[in-house]
Protein backbone atom coordinates (compact mmCIF):
# COMPACT_ATOMS: atom_id res chain seq x y z
CA UNK A 1 0.00 0.00 0.00
CA UNK A 2 1.18 3.56 -0.62
CA UNK A 3 1.74 4.30 3.03
CA UNK A 4 4.36 3.79 5.68
CA UNK A 5 5.09 0.56 7.52
CA UNK A 6 6.72 0.57 10.99
CA UNK A 7 6.49 4.20 12.08
CA UNK A 8 6.75 5.68 8.64
CA UNK A 9 10.15 4.30 7.65
CA UNK A 10 8.88 3.31 4.24
CA UNK A 11 8.81 5.77 1.34
CA UNK A 12 6.46 5.18 -1.53
CA UNK A 13 7.28 5.74 -5.20
CA UNK A 14 5.52 4.92 -8.41
CA UNK A 15 7.04 1.92 -10.20
CA UNK A 16 9.24 3.29 -12.95
CA UNK A 17 9.74 2.33 -16.56
CA UNK A 18 11.48 -0.95 -15.78
CA UNK A 19 8.38 -2.29 -14.10
CA UNK A 20 6.13 -1.01 -16.86
CA UNK A 21 8.22 -2.74 -19.49
CA UNK A 22 7.67 -6.02 -17.68
CA UNK A 23 3.89 -5.72 -18.03
CA UNK A 24 1.41 -5.68 -20.92
CA UNK A 25 0.27 -2.22 -21.99
CA UNK A 26 -2.56 -0.94 -19.79
CA UNK A 27 -4.89 2.01 -19.84
CA UNK A 28 -3.84 4.89 -17.58
CA UNK A 29 -4.92 4.53 -13.97
CA UNK A 30 -7.92 6.64 -13.04
CA UNK A 31 -6.58 7.98 -9.78
CA UNK A 32 -7.26 5.73 -6.81
CA UNK A 33 -10.50 4.31 -8.17
CA UNK A 34 -10.38 0.78 -9.51
CA UNK A 35 -11.12 -0.03 -13.13
CA UNK A 36 -13.90 -2.58 -13.69
CA UNK A 37 -11.34 -5.39 -13.97
CA UNK A 38 -9.54 -4.23 -10.81
CA UNK A 39 -12.83 -3.86 -8.94
CA UNK A 40 -13.79 -7.44 -9.82
CA UNK A 41 -10.40 -8.66 -8.58
CA UNK A 42 -10.61 -6.71 -5.30
CA UNK A 43 -14.16 -7.92 -4.71
CA UNK A 44 -13.16 -11.55 -5.32
CA UNK A 45 -10.19 -11.36 -2.94
CA UNK A 46 -12.23 -9.49 -0.33
CA UNK A 47 -14.96 -12.12 -0.42
CA UNK A 48 -12.48 -14.85 0.48
CA UNK A 49 -10.25 -13.03 2.97
CA UNK A 50 -12.99 -11.25 4.89
CA UNK A 51 -14.50 -14.67 5.53
CA UNK A 52 -11.18 -16.37 6.28
CA UNK A 53 -9.54 -13.71 8.49
CA UNK A 54 -12.39 -11.42 9.62
CA UNK A 55 -10.67 -10.52 12.88
CA UNK A 56 -7.10 -10.08 14.07
CA UNK A 57 -7.64 -13.09 16.34
CA UNK A 58 -8.40 -15.26 13.30
CA UNK A 59 -5.28 -13.98 11.55
CA UNK A 60 -3.16 -14.80 14.58
CA UNK A 61 -4.52 -18.36 14.61
CA UNK A 62 -3.39 -18.64 10.99
CA UNK A 63 0.16 -17.52 11.82
CA UNK A 64 0.04 -13.73 11.35
CA UNK A 65 1.36 -11.48 14.09
CA UNK A 66 0.98 -7.77 14.72
CA UNK A 67 4.08 -5.89 13.62
CA UNK A 68 3.02 -2.22 13.92
CA UNK A 69 1.03 -0.01 16.20
CA UNK A 70 -1.98 1.93 14.92
CA UNK A 71 -0.74 3.95 11.97
CA UNK A 72 -1.89 7.29 10.62
CA UNK A 73 -4.55 5.66 8.44
CA UNK A 74 -6.12 3.95 11.46
CA UNK A 75 -4.81 0.45 10.84
CA UNK A 76 -2.35 -1.97 12.41
CA UNK A 77 -0.37 -4.30 10.14
CA UNK A 78 -0.12 -8.06 10.64
CA UNK A 79 2.63 -10.13 8.97
CA UNK A 80 2.76 -13.89 8.38
CA UNK A 81 6.55 -14.09 8.42
CA UNK A 82 7.17 -14.91 4.77
CA UNK A 83 8.37 -13.05 1.70
CA UNK A 84 8.26 -16.14 -0.53
CA UNK A 85 4.96 -18.02 -0.15
CA UNK A 86 2.64 -15.37 -1.56
CA UNK A 87 -0.34 -15.69 -3.87
CA UNK A 88 -3.69 -13.96 -4.39
CA UNK A 89 -5.36 -15.61 -1.41
CA UNK A 90 -2.27 -15.61 0.80
CA UNK A 91 -1.05 -12.01 1.18
CA UNK A 92 1.87 -11.62 3.54
CA UNK A 93 0.44 -8.46 5.16
CA UNK A 94 -3.08 -7.79 6.44
CA UNK A 95 -4.47 -4.54 7.86
CA UNK A 96 -6.83 -4.41 10.83
CA UNK A 97 -8.66 -1.42 12.26
CA UNK A 98 -8.74 -0.41 15.93
CA UNK A 99 -11.55 -2.88 16.58
CA UNK A 100 -9.53 -5.74 15.10
CA UNK A 101 -11.55 -5.99 11.88
CA UNK A 102 -9.87 -6.82 8.56
CA UNK A 103 -9.87 -3.82 6.21
CA UNK A 104 -7.00 -4.23 3.71
CA UNK A 105 -3.85 -6.00 2.63
CA UNK A 106 -0.41 -5.85 1.02
CA UNK A 107 1.37 -8.28 -1.26
CA UNK A 108 5.10 -7.61 -0.88
CA UNK A 109 7.82 -9.21 -3.03
CA UNK A 110 11.54 -8.68 -2.23
CA UNK A 111 13.42 -6.68 -4.83
CA UNK A 112 16.52 -8.92 -4.47
CA UNK A 113 14.40 -11.79 -5.83
CA UNK A 114 12.46 -9.78 -8.41
CA UNK A 115 14.27 -7.44 -10.78
CA UNK A 116 10.93 -5.87 -11.69
CA UNK A 117 7.57 -5.61 -9.98
CA UNK A 118 5.72 -8.91 -10.56
CA UNK A 119 2.88 -7.17 -12.36
CA UNK A 120 1.76 -10.29 -14.22
CA UNK A 121 0.68 -11.94 -10.95
CA UNK A 122 -2.38 -9.75 -10.38
CA UNK A 123 -4.96 -8.19 -12.72
CA UNK A 124 -4.23 -4.58 -11.80
CA UNK A 125 -2.49 -1.77 -13.61
CA UNK A 126 1.27 -1.56 -13.27
CA UNK A 127 0.94 1.93 -11.82
CA UNK A 128 -0.61 0.43 -8.69
CA UNK A 129 2.73 -1.03 -7.62
CA UNK A 130 4.94 0.95 -5.24
CA UNK A 131 8.24 0.37 -3.43
CA UNK A 132 8.82 -0.22 0.28
CA UNK A 133 12.33 0.61 1.44
CA UNK A 134 14.43 -1.77 3.46
CA UNK A 135 13.89 -1.55 7.23
CA UNK A 136 13.45 -3.66 10.37
CA UNK A 137 10.69 -4.38 12.85
CA UNK A 138 11.11 -5.58 16.41
CA UNK A 139 9.18 -5.97 19.65
CA UNK A 140 10.33 -5.97 23.24
CA UNK A 141 8.88 -6.14 26.72
CA UNK A 142 10.02 -4.55 29.95
CA UNK A 143 9.35 -7.01 32.73
CA UNK A 144 5.74 -8.14 32.54
CA UNK A 145 4.67 -4.97 30.76
CA UNK A 146 2.91 -4.72 27.40
CA UNK A 147 4.65 -5.60 24.16
CA UNK A 148 6.32 -2.56 22.58
CA UNK A 149 6.34 -2.56 18.75
CA UNK A 150 8.97 -0.60 16.86
CA UNK A 151 10.45 -0.12 13.41
CA UNK A 152 13.79 1.35 12.36
CA UNK A 153 16.13 1.77 9.45
CA UNK A 154 18.12 -1.32 8.46
CA UNK A 155 21.63 -0.59 9.66
CA UNK A 156 24.29 -2.88 8.14
CA UNK A 157 24.37 -5.11 11.22
CA UNK A 158 20.56 -5.55 11.10
CA UNK A 159 20.38 -7.13 7.66
CA UNK A 160 20.87 -10.68 8.90
CA UNK A 161 18.11 -13.28 8.81
CA UNK A 162 18.16 -13.34 12.60
CA UNK A 163 18.43 -9.98 14.33
CA UNK A 164 19.80 -10.22 17.86
CA UNK A 165 19.24 -8.06 20.90
CA UNK A 166 22.96 -7.24 20.88
CA UNK A 167 22.72 -5.91 17.34
CA UNK A 168 19.77 -3.68 18.22
CA UNK A 169 21.51 -2.47 21.36
CA UNK A 170 24.62 -1.62 19.35
CA UNK A 171 22.49 0.72 17.22
CA UNK A 172 20.85 2.23 20.34
CA UNK A 173 17.44 0.88 19.32
CA UNK A 174 16.82 -1.49 22.22
CA UNK A 175 16.61 0.00 25.73
CA UNK A 176 18.64 -1.62 28.46
CA UNK A 177 16.91 -4.07 30.75
CA UNK A 178 14.20 -5.15 28.32
CA UNK A 179 13.60 -8.52 26.66
CA UNK A 180 13.59 -8.76 22.87
CA UNK A 181 10.55 -10.84 21.89
CA UNK A 182 11.00 -10.90 18.11
CA UNK A 183 12.73 -9.03 15.30
CA UNK A 184 12.84 -9.31 11.54
CA UNK A 185 14.55 -7.70 8.59
CA UNK A 186 12.19 -6.30 5.94
CA UNK A 187 14.00 -6.19 2.58
CA UNK A 188 13.22 -3.56 -0.04
CA UNK A 189 10.00 -4.80 -1.67
CA UNK A 190 7.66 -4.29 -4.57
CA UNK A 191 4.31 -3.64 -2.94
CA UNK A 192 0.70 -3.93 -4.05
CA UNK A 193 -1.85 -2.89 -1.44
CA UNK A 194 -5.54 -2.07 -1.41
CA UNK A 195 -8.59 -1.82 0.85
CA UNK A 196 -10.80 -4.88 1.20
CA UNK A 197 -13.75 -2.94 2.57
CA UNK A 198 -15.62 -0.28 0.55
CA UNK A 199 -13.76 3.01 0.26
CA UNK A 200 -15.39 6.20 -1.01
CA UNK A 201 -11.92 7.36 -2.06
CA UNK A 202 -11.22 4.24 -4.09
CA UNK A 203 -9.76 0.82 -3.35
CA UNK A 204 -6.20 2.04 -3.96
CA UNK A 205 -6.47 5.29 -2.01
CA UNK A 206 -4.13 6.14 0.84
CA UNK A 207 -6.93 6.68 3.37
CA UNK A 208 -10.37 5.22 3.91
CA UNK A 209 -12.93 7.50 5.62
CA UNK A 210 -14.66 4.40 6.98
CA UNK A 211 -11.55 3.61 9.04
CA UNK A 212 -11.04 6.09 11.87
Distance, CA of 194 to CA of 167 (rounded, Å): 34
Distance, CA of 207 to CA of 170 (rounded, Å): 36
pLDDT tens, residue by residue, 140-181: 999 999 999 999 999 999 998 899 999 999 999 999 999 999
Low-confidence stretches of the chain (pLDDT < 70) are 1-30
126 DSSP 8-state letter: G
pLDDT tens, residue by residue, 184-202: 999 999 999 999 999 999 9
Amino acid sequence: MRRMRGRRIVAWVVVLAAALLAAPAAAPAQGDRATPAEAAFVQRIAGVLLARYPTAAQAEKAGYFRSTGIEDDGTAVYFNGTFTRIDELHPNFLWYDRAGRLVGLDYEFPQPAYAHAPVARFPVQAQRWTVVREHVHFAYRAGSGPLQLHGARAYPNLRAERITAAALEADHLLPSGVTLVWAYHHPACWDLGFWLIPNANGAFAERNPAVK
